[in-house]
């Protein structure tokens, strides 16, 4: 049984200009100890879908799902109180912006110990020992001293380490890392990723890694889910995704990859992700797709089977490769 | 830190001189002659008038009078009351505890209700409680103090007979060596019923005086909370699985307090202005009532000295708030 299993997740926001569907029938599955990477351009609903799983969306959001099961618990059926026993303990998340994700009014030590008291019920001394241990684990030098620092006294990289230490403090079964390195220097990025994969090895937790960076995907992920305009348009194990992408969007991402060496962000594909007001009637990628024809523009393609990476496309690529292997 | 303090204290100097001048001019610009007022119905002869005028120094040019006043002030001499002949300084400090006590209780009232109300309104933004509270705050803010005080007196003193209408304590109680803070004196004396009596006298004036700060604090807390609740670190707190009470009451409120503290500091001036009216209505023997009485008596030294001391008090409070701001906002403290 998988650790996290979400079927047909949709999220809509009530905005002043009407309802906006930020996530559209997405399926997510993560096994114990697995690294799933979610990639996609900005605005493709990566963060929103994971925040929905965590139950952290603002009240303007409406979340629906056929199934949302984590570690045997149906998340949609839990009361707020029951959910709080899971979220923060077995299910943890770290965010894109380490500097603003920590409370400026409290020391980082206070913030990490708070979780330890709440979920593990440790006494004062045990909390302190565990906090020091966690800071050492995530590579924060002079942990005793750092515990009494305020977030603004630490660098972005240090703050992200604090966030990671806080997220793993109660030995979560699944850690969701939402672009954990985007705000950091390149050298620090590699360190943080090594830290996360290392922790996965040590603790056996599952890891969902949201990223913009195909390089990161290639190095760390085991399975990759590609999102586009709120939909999952393809999902494959990392090796076969790089070798034989089925969806033209994935292929375009990979084609443009060599240029990536300069700025490490997602390669540029002409055009932009459709927003609230310019969603095409047919395939969401059709305005930018070089294979698009009238059929593509007329109606949306349903997802294909698992052997074709669940690609949402009428004309999947590299089908012969599958036949060959 | 010390440098900062010194710089701030230095900015007091021009303000101080300005206030000295304004308070000196203010009372003299009011129509009415203190000597005539003192004479009252009896009237007085020309000779007696000239004699008194010379005695009080009114026969000299106005700038000489100001210069003498200013040099006196700088030496710590505020002059003495025309009426009681006691030094202004002494009168101020014997009455100040009454005003301070009233203000403290008014502030406690405003904070005890305003902070939770603001937090609850922000958390339930747009819902019934929020709307009801914000409309009430608007009413509270624009309600004339005088009218509000009368309404409370009519209900609680008149109809229900729960609270006295004036004074600070029932006359049967007497304290030796008083601190001037009735509540403290009552506790110290251990006399039965003294504390209850002091509190019963205090409650209505404190509510009246605290109403505007209450409205301001509730609104400010709400808007500060609304801003803070959208911050990333609140999402982090929720991601940790903390209960809402802790998220709103500790993580969010602690940050929201930073702007609220500033507002509290600024409302000290308003509080003292409100104290003038409140003390007059409730015959509360504090600085406010003293000022009003002295203005009617054209007691020049008391009015100018009292205004000066009040201004200094407000400046000191604002300075304290500034320093407190550093304590409560770690980002400023360790720069
Ligand atoms: N609270 C909200 N109210 C309305 N719309 C929202 C809200 N949060 C997100 N959205 C919209 O949902 C869409 C998906 O946002 P999301 O943050 O999930 O994108 P993302 O894939 O994580 O992008 P990025 O890579 O930039 O983080 C965006 O168009 C965004 O504007
Ligand atoms: S369905 Fe058509 S437009 Fe959409 S990705 Fe496939 S080929 Fe391109
Ligand atoms: Mg995002």
How do residues B139-195 score in pLDDT, each as one tens digit? Answer: 888 888 888 888 888 888 888 888 888 888 877 777 777 787 888 888 888 788 888
Note the pLDDT of residue B118. 94
Q: How far is the CA of A42 from the centre of ligand 3 (A)?
A: 7
Q: What are the beta bridge partners of residue A7?
A: A67
What pLDDT is stored for residue A266 in this prediction? 53
Report how many domains make up chain B: 1
Start-end ranges of CATH 3.40.50.300 in chain A? 4-221
Pocket lining: A40 vs ligand 1, CB cutoff 6 Å:
yes
In a domain, B173, yes or no: yes
Could you say which of B231, B238, B330 has the minimum Cβ distance to residue A150?
B330
Output the pLDDT for position A72.
92
Instruction: Provide the Cα torsion B138, B139, B145, B151; round to 10°.
Output: -160
Q: Decide: pTM greater than 0.80.
A: yes
Q: Does A73 touch chain B if contact means CB atoms closer than 8 Å?
A: no
Residue B163 counted as domain residue:
yes
Q: ipTM beyond 0.95?
A: no
User: Exposed e or buried b for every residue in A173-197, given b needs 16+ CB within 10 A?
Assistant: bbbbbbbbbbbbeeebbebbbebbb
SS3 assignment for chain A: CCCEEEEEEEEEEEECCEEEEEEEEEEEEECCCCEEEEECCCCCCHHHHHHHHHCCCCCCEEEECCEEEECCEEHHHCCHHHHHHHECCCEEEECCCHHHHCCCCCCHHHHHHHHHHHHHCCCHHHHHHHHHHHHHHCCCCCHHHHCCCCHHHCCHHHHHHHHHHHHCCCCCCEEEEECCCCCCCHHHHHHHHHHHHHHHHHHCCEEEEEECCHHHHHHHCCEEEEEECCEEEEEEEHHHHHHCCCCHHHHHHHHCHHHHHHHCCCCCCCCCCCCCCCCCCCCCCCCCCCCCCHHHHHCCCCECCHHHCCCECCCCCCHHHHHHC
Give, for ligand 1, the residue of A11, A12, A22, A60 to mutate: max count of ligand atoms closer than 8 Å to Cβ.
A22
Q: Round the average pLDDT of chain B to a whole number and report it.
A: 85
Nearest CA-CA partner of B260 in B228, B199, B298, B218: B218
Q: Ligand nearest A299 Cα, by number?
A: 2
Output the six-digit token pair for B196.
């209850």
Answer yes or no: is B43 within a domain. Answer: no
**B127 inside 8 A of chain A by CB:** no
- Residue B78 in any domain: the answer is no
- The Cα A24–Cα A10 span in angstroms is 5
Torsion sign over Cα B271, B277, B281, B282? positive
pLDDT tens digit sequence for B235-267: 999 999 999 999 999 999 999 998 898 888 877
* Residue B204 tokens, joined: 């209505």
Give the domain range for residue B113: 88-334
pLDDT of residue B335: 42
Q: A285: which 2 tokens?
A: 């990628």
Whether the per-residue pLDDT at B59 is higher than 80: the answer is no
Within 13 Å, how many C-alpha atoms sit on residue A207's CB side? 28
Write the pLDDT tens digit of every residue in B191-208: 888 888 888 889 999 999
Q: Sorting pLDDT into bands at 50, 70 and 90, what band is B41?
A: low
Nearest-CA distance A88 → chain B (Å): 4
- Tokens coding B212: 């505007």
- Nearest ligand to residue A39 Cα: 1
Is A44 a pocket residue for ligand 1 (Cβ < 6 Å)? yes
B113 against B19, higher pLDDT: B113
CATH number of the domain enclosing B202: 1.10.3720.10
CB B74 within 8 A of CB B291: no
Find, among A142, A153, A222, A156, the residue nearest to A189 by Cα. A156
Give the number of A-B residue pairs with CB atoms closer than 8 Å: 71
Q: How far apart are CA A43 and CA A119, in angstroms?
A: 34
Give CATH for domain A4-221: 3.40.50.300
Q: What's the B144 CA to ligand 2 centre distance in angstroms?
A: 69
* Residue B62: per-residue pLDDT: 82
From A274, A292, A294, mutation site for ligand 2 pocket: most ligand atoms within 8 A of C-beta: A292
Structure tokens that stand for B2 in this block: 């010390």
Determine the pLDDT at residue A96. Answer: 87
List the pLDDT tens digit at each of the 325 positions of chain A: 789 999 999 999 998 888 899 999 999 999 999 999 999 988 899 999 999 999 999 888 999 999 999 999 999 889 989 999 999 999 999 998 888 999 999 999 999 999 999 999 999 999 999 999 999 988 899 999 999 999 999 999 999 999 999 999 999 999 999 988 887 788 888 888 888 999 899 889 999 999 888 888 888 899 999 999 999 999 999 999 999 999 999 998 888 765 444 555 555 677 888 877 888 889 999 999 989 999 999 999 999 988 899 999 999 988 875 544 4
- The tokens describing A11, both together, are 């999220």
Q: Determine, yes or no, domain membership for B104.
A: yes
């Amino acid at each position: 049984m998988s650790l996290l299993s979400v079927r047909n997740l949709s999220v809509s926001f009530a905005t002043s200009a009407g309802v906006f569907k930020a996530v559209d029938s997405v399926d997510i599955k993560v096994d114990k100890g697995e690294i799933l990477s979610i990639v996609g351009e900005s605005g493709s609903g990566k963060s929103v879908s994971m925040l929905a799983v965590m139950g952290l969306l603002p009240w303007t959001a409406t979340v629906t799902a056929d199934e949302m099961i984590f570690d045997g618990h149906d998340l949609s059926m839990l009361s707020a109180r029951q959910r709080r026993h899971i979220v923060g303990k077995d299910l943890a998340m770290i965010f894109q912006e380490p500097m603003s994700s920590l409370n400026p009014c409290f020391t980082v030590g206070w913030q990490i110990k708070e979780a330890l008291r709440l979920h593990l019920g440790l006494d004062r001394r045990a909390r302190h020992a565990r906090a020091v241990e966690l800071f050492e684990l995530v590579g924060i030098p002079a942990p005793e001293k750092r515990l009494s620092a305020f977030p603004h006294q630490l660098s972005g990289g240090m703050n992200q380490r604090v966030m990671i230490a806080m997220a793993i403090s109660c030995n979560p079964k699944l850690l969701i890392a939402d672009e954990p390195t985007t705000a950091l220097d390149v050298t620090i990025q590699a360190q943080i990723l090594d830290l996360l994969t290392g922790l996965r090895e040590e603790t056996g937790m599952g890891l969902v890694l949201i990223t913009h960076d195909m390089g990161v995907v290639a190095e760390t992920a085991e399975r990759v889910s590609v999102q586009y305009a709120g939909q999952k348009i393809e999902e494959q194990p990392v090796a076969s995704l790089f070798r034989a992408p089925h969806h033209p969007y994935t292929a375009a991402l990979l084609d443009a990859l060599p240029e990536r060496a300069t700025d490490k962000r997602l390669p540029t594909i002409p055009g932009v992700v459709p927003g609230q007001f310019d969603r095409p009637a047919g395939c969401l990628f059709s305005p930018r797709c070089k294979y698009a024809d009238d059929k593509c523009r007329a109606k949306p393609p349903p997802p294909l089977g698992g052997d074709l990476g669940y690609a949402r496309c009428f004309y999947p690529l590299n089908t012969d490769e599958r036949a060959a292997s | 830190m010390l440098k900062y303090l010194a710089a701030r204290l230095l900015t007091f100097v021009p303000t101080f001189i300005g206030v000295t001048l304004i308070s000196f001019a203010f009372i003299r610009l009011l129509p009415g002659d203190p000597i005539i007022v003192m004479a009252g119905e009896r009237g007085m002869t020309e000779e007696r008038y000239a004699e008194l005028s010379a005695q009080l120094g009114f026969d000299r040019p106005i700038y000489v009078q100001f210069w003498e006043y200013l040099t006196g002030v700088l030496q710590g001499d505020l002059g003495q009351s025309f009426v009681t002949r006691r030094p202004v300084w002494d009168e101020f400090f014997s009455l100040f505890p009454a005003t301070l006590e009233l203000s403290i209780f008014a502030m406690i009232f405003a904070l005890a209700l305003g902070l939770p109300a603001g937090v609850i309104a922000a958390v339930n933004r747009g819902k019934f409680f929020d709307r009801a509270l914000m409309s009430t705050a608007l009413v509270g803010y624009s309600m004339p103090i005088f009218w509000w005080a009368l309404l409370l007196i009519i209900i609680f003193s008149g109809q229900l007979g729960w609270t006295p209408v004036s004074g600070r304590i029932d006359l049967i109680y007497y304290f030796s060596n008083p601190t001037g803070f009735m509540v403290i004196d009552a506790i110290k004396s251990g006399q039965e019923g003294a504390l209850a009596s002091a509190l019963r006298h205090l409650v209505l004036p404190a509510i009246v005086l605290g109403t505007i700060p209450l409205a301001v604090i509730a609104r400010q807390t709400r808007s500060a909370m609304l801003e803070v609740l959208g911050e990333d670190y609140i999402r982090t707190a929720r991601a940790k699985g903390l209960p809402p009470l802790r998220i709103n009451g500790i993580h969010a409120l602690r940050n929201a307090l930073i702007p609220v503290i500033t507002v509290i500091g600024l409302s000290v001036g308003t509080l003292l202005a409100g104290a003038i009216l409140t003390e007059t209505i409730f015959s509360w023997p504090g600085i406010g009532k003293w000022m009003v009485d002295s203005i009617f008596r054209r007691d020049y030294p008391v009015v100018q000295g009292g205004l000066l001391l009040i201004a200094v008090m407000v400046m000191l409070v604002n300075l304290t708030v500034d320093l407190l701001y550093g304590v409560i906002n770690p980002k400023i403290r360790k720069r």
